[in-house]
Amino acid sequence: MRRYKEQESREFKRRKRKQAIRRKILGFCAFTFLLGVLCGRIVFAKGDKDFVETLAEYAQKDINEEKDLEPDIEAGVEGQGFSGNLLTAGEETQEEEAWKLTLVNKWNPVEEGYKPALAEIENNYYFDARAVGYLQEMLADGRRAGLDFWVCSAYRTVEKQTELFEDKVRRVTYETGLTGEAAREKAGTEVAYPGTSEHNLGLAVDIVARDYQILDEKQARTDEAQWLKENCWKYGFILRYPTDKTEETGIIFEPWHYRYVGEQAAKEIMEQGICLEEYLDAVQTHEKETSEKI
Ligand SMILES: [Zn+2]
C-alpha cells in the first residue's frame, strides 16, 4: 500500500515535471513567436521607411530632371544647344501644316468639291474645325479688352459666293454703267469670283465693329479693326488684303477680312508687312535655293 502510494507520488511528481517542461516549451514558443512578430514589425517598418524614402528620392529625381529640362527647352528656342534634327522636324511640320497656307485667289481657285470639316464660331457662322479654336480665342481676348466684335461672314459655299458675285456685278453695272466682262472684272476686285474666295476655304472670317458694320475703308479706323491688326498674328491670323497689296492679292483693301495661316507664318507676314502671295513666293524661292545648294 505504501509502495503503491510512493509509486503514486512519483507518478504525480513525474507528471508535474512533464507539465512544467511543457509550460516552459510553450512559454519559449510563445516568447519566440512574440519576438518574431516584434522583429518582423521592425523589419517591415524599416522596409516601409526605406520604400517611402526610395519613393521620395524618385520624386525628387523627377523634379530635378524636369528642372534640368527647362534650360534645354529655352536653349532650343534660342537656337543654342538644340540637338534635334531640325531639317527632318521642319519637313514633317511643313507637310502637316500645308493646309494652313493653301493659296486661294483669283488665279488659284479652291479645289473642286473641297469641303473642310466645319465647326461653329458663333451665331451660325462656320470655320475650318482645325482652326476655329484660335479664332474664338482671338475674339474672346479682344472682347475681354473691351472691344465689341461682330462676325459678319465666315465659311461660304461656292454657290453662296456665286450669288454674292452676281449681285456685285449688277451693282457695278448700276453704279458705273459698265457691262459684260468689264463689269465682271470690276466686281471681281471687290467680291471674289466664285471658287476663288478664301471664304470657300473655311479659313477666312470677316470681323467688324458692332457699331460700324459697313464694309468700307473707314472700318480700319474702329478700335476693333486696330486691335485685330495689331494682335491677329498671335492667334495665327493675318490681315489678308492690306492697303498697298491689291496688285498681288487681286483684292482691294479689306480691313475686316482675316485669314488663318498658323502662328509662324502670321508672325512673319505681319512683321514684314507683306501679303500671303509674297510670303509663299519667298518660301518657294528659299526652298529652291536650299535644294540647289544640296
Ligand atoms: Zn472676307
Is it true that domain 115-156+197-293 has CATH number 3.40.50.2030?
Answer: no
Residue 138 in contact with residue 190, Cβ under 8 Å?
A: no
User: Residue 223 has what pLDDT?
Assistant: 98
Residue 127 in contact with residue 202, Cβ under 8 Å?
A: yes
Distance 215 CA to ligand 1 centre (A): 10
Distance 257 CA to ligand 1 centre (A): 4
Distance 33 CA to ligand 1 centre (A): 87
Per-residue pLDDT at 2 exceeds 70: no
Q: State residue 215 phi and psi, 5-degree precision.
A: -90, 75
Find cell 528620392 and name the residue: 57
Residue 222 in contact with residue 147, Cβ under 8 Å?
A: no
Residue 166 cell numbers, joined: 452676281
Domain boundaries of the chain, sorted by first residue: 1-83, 115-156+197-293
Distance 190 CA to ligand 1 centre (A): 10
% of the chain exceeding 70 in pLDDT: 67
Distance 265 CA to ligand 1 centre (A): 19
Angle between helices 276-293 and 263-272 (to 10 degrees): 110
Distance 205 CA to ligand 1 centre (A): 6
| Closest C-alpha to 235, from 201, 211, 258 | 258
Per-residue pLDDT at 244 exceeds 80: yes
Q: Which amino acid is at 245?
A: K
Catalogue the active-site residues: 254
Determine the number of helices (DSSP H) and then strands (DSSP E) in the chain.
9, 6
CA angle 140, 145, 149 (to 5 degrees): 55
Neighbouring CB atoms inside 10 A of 263's CB total: 15
Distance 191 CA to ligand 1 centre (A): 9
Find the range with the poorest average confidence among 111-120, 128-137, 261-270: 111-120
Q: State residue 187 phi and psi, 5-degree precision.
A: -60, -35
Residue 16 cell numbers, joined: 508535474
Residue 265 in contact with residue 291, Cβ under 8 Å?
A: no
Find the range with the poorest average confidence among 60-64, 71-75, 150-154: 71-75
Distance between CA atoms of 164 and 135, rounded to whole angstroms? 24
Q: Is 105 helix (H, G, I), strand (E, B) or coil?
A: strand
pTM of the model: 0.65
Distance 204 CA to ligand 1 centre (A): 6
| Closest C-alpha to 191, from 174, 212, 219, 215 | 215
Per-residue pLDDT at 279 exceeds 50: yes
Angle between helices 158-176 and 180-188 (to 10 degrees): 120
pLDDT band at 41 (very low <50, low <70, confident <90, very high): very low
Residue 208 in contact with residue 222, Cβ under 8 Å?
A: yes
Per-residue pLDDT at 159 exceeds 60: yes
